[in-house]
Structure 1
Amino acid sequence: MEATVQKAIELGINHIETARGYGKSEEFLGAALQGARSRVFLTTKLPPSLDADQTDRWIDESLERLQVDFVDSLAIHGLNTWEHLEWVKADNGCMKAVRDAIADGRVRHVGFSTHGSLDVILAAIATDFFEFVNLHYSFFFQRNAPAIELAAQKDLGIFIISPADKAGMLHTPPQKLTQLCAPMSPLEMNYRFLLSDRRITTLSVGAANPNELNLDYRTGALSAEEQQVFERLREIRAPEQCSQCYECLPCPEGINIPEVLRLRNLATAYDMQQFGEYRYRMFENAGHWFPGNKGNRCTDCGDCLPKCPEKLEIPRLLRETHDRLNGKAGRRLWQE
């Protein structure tokens, strides 16, 4: 870990992010940054809370573990639900403590991270409480495009969560996807998709060792060759492809129909089976971080059928996807 941090700084990477919930990450990072603190923008994250005093203690604990007097940026971690947004708006909730910490210099800037629905993200941005947002967005998940646009209009920093792993396990791609992305790798393809967008401020690279930092992080407009890659990828379609319009929601059984069918799209169009299994087994096991029930909960009520502009046989596709992708349940990093 120390070698990876050192290599990142040598390469000019100047933003490092962690969180209270990431095991001993703050403690380890604090040790690794000794002598290098002035060379990086440091971000940590803590959960939303209705208790300002508790949040104030959490801030001090993070500073102590990081061995710093202040963090450049503090994010409310996992502003995923309408209830969380109400906690943020509460008079004596977490934002009171954050504003106090900004006033006394322990925090320079405040933002939020989110795995929530698009409407929650837009509402959070619209509060004007925040200076940056951490969210999911990638070539294979463009649902949050309106949030990117609103954040850019309000001049917020835009931080993309996990463009390698949760964007498609692009660090270990299937052969078909690798061939489609050539001469880029699938990981470089997604980085170029993001970094060619001038609205995007920074990415979570998530390197596990120094060698994983040896990638092309170019910004700027796409070349003609790169544009051909994206055109080729867009031409590939899954059989009975879901258009991701979200008109099928809400589902009476709480099934996250668009996300289930998105994973089916990727598995059948690009052979992203391993990624589909990885994400699908998180349903019913990750709470508000990845909400929704699995496809086998479908009761054939038919509520979704008239809503679908593609006239898809959604109940059948849900069952087929479950049979294809269901696997052993995983756990989140901060769960016991």
Structure 2
Amino acid sequence: MEYRVLGRTGLLVSRLGLGGIPIQRATQEVADEMLAACQDLGINFIDTARGYRDSEEKLGRALHSRRGSFHLASKSARRDAAGFREDLERGLQLLQTDYIDLYQLHMVSALDVWDQVQAPGGALSALLAARQEGLVRFVGVTSHNNDVLEIMIKSNLFDTAQFPLNVVESQFLGSLNLAQKLHMGTIAMKPLAGGALQRADLALRYLLPSTVDTIIPGMDTVEQLHSNCAAIELGVLTADEAEHLQEDAAALGEDFCRRCEYCLPCPVGIRIPTLFILEGYVNRYGLQEWARERYWGMPSQADACTECGLCEKRCPYNLGIRRKLKQTQSVFRRE
């Protein structure tokens, strides 16, 4: 495993880290097995969040006997100081640790949110206070908006920046370069474009020539850990592989679901990312019958949407989810 220094933090982190969103889908037994496998494979950077349901809890149980082997990152999307502090303290309990290596403002992707967290009584004051108290060693920010991220990087308030980076979202290369000029650590999330890029091996290797410090695909099986590590070991893409990946990216465009699940829960129980995945199996792979059977077996279909718009307010990519659900329903409409 290759290791890099995470900017001004001085932490030596594995080039491949563990993104903790999918851990909420894993059993505790699988989470335990994954952390043991991470230790064996040399993966020493783990990123989770208070908002990832029971991810912190499962990781805390799995980390309890091996805390010193990992650099642990978490984050809170609460915008006020009191709520942010509450999330941090709860996270410390669930992670079964008295400190977190890196704690981050989660998903600050709009200027009004940046203004909100900076304001008196905002989350930023709680984050900086936690560093002063030793509850967190370093502070960072995560964002899905390159323009907003550049403003936050220029503030020079943070030790790290976390942002999407993949063959579809290369606009964040500017933020990467700016952060590194200021000696900030850099963390690449969504390397597989939220799972939309089917060739995980090619998508990960695409990032190897970049200067980003660590790449954190979401993983929820030991098999994924091993296959992603094996991919990293293969090195940079060949010309033919790069061409194939670019073709996949062109087919996706930009109006696609990254499966981050921030849109959930839906008030009427629609599993939005899952429906979009099933639609992709029809459109990209021609698996009509296979996908149709699973679509109609879901608790709620796309036509259950009441158009409340809550999902669109939550989506960091500003997708027209209501419009896309109508498209999905048209694909699976009963004949």
TM score, norm. by length of structure 2: 0.66
CA distance in 1, matches of 2:159, 2:285: 35
Deviations 1:48-94 (A, max 9, x none): 413x2332232211111111010000011111211110123223311
Go from structure 1 to structure 2 and tell me whether the alpha carbon gap of 1:327 and 1:31 turns closer, same or farther (over 3 Å shift): farther
Say yes or no: does 1:111 pair with 2:140.
Answer: yes
CA apart distance, 1:222: 2.9
Find out whether 1:101 has 2:113 as its counterpart: no
> What does residue range 235-274 of structure 1 map to in structure 2 within 5 Å?
271=284
Among candidates 43, 56, 63, match of residue 13 of structure 1 = 43
Q: Aligned partners of 1:77 and 1:327: how far apart in 2?
A: 35
2:152 is the counterpart of 1:120: no
**Quick check: which one's helix share is greater?**
2
Unaligned runs of 5+ in 2: 1-30, 256-275, 288-301
Within 5 Å, give how 1:78-89 maps onto structure 2: 78-89=107-118
1:143 aligned counterpart, secondary structure: helix
- Alpha carbons of structure 1 residues 71 and 217: separation in structure 2 relative to 1, 3 Å: farther
2:207 alignment partner, SS class? helix
SS at match of 1:195: coil
Pick closer, same or farther for the CA change 1:326–1:9 going to 2, 3 Å: farther
Matched with 2:201 is 188
Instruction: Flag structure 1 segments of 5+ consecutive residues without an equivalent.
Output: 174-185, 245-262, 275-280, 298-320, 329-336
**Which sits farther off after the overlay, 84-93 or 16-25?**
84-93
Q: Contact 2:143–2:162 (CA<8 Å) still a contact in 1?
A: yes
Pick the aligned partner of 2:232 from 192, 202, 218.
218
Q: Which residue of 1 aligns with 2:65?
A: 35
CA distance in 1, matches of 2:193, 2:134: 34
- Looking at structure 1, the residues matched to 99 and 322 of structure 2 have their Cα atoms a distance apart, in angstroms, of 48
| 2:312–2:319 CA contact under 8 A, matched in 1 | no
Match of 2:21? none
Deviates more, 1:145-154 or 1:39-48: 145-154
Shift of 1:38: 0.2
Distance 1:296 1:2, change over 3 A: closer
Determine if contact 1:98/1:110 at 8 Å carries over to the other structure: yes
Letter paired with 1:159 = I
What SS does structure 2 have at the residue aligned with 1:49? coil
Q: Residues 173-224 of structure 1, C-alpha deviation per residue, up to 9 Å, x if partnerless?
A: 3xxxxxxxxxxxx211111111221x2111223222111111225379736x
Give the alignment partner of residue 169 of structure 2, picking from 141, 145, 148. Answer: 141
Which one-letter code corresponds to 2:224 in the other structure? E
Larger displacement relative to structure 2 (11-20 or 86-95): 86-95
Task: Give 1 or 2 for the bigger CA radius of gyration.
Answer: 1
Q: Per-residue deviation at 1:295? A: 9.4
Question: If the length of structure 1 is used for normalisation, what is the TM-score?
Answer: 0.66
Q: Cα–Cα, structure 1 residues 27 and 191, in superposed 2: closer, same or farther, change >3 Å?
A: same
Is 1:289 matched up with 2:315? yes
> How far apart, in 1, do the equivalents of 2:84 and 2:43 lie?
29
TM alignment of 1:204-215, pairs within 5 A? 204-215=216-227
Identical columns (%): 23
What residue is the counterpart of 1:66 in the other structure? Answer: 95
* AA partner of residue 63 (structure 1): L
Superposition CA RMSD, Å: 3.5
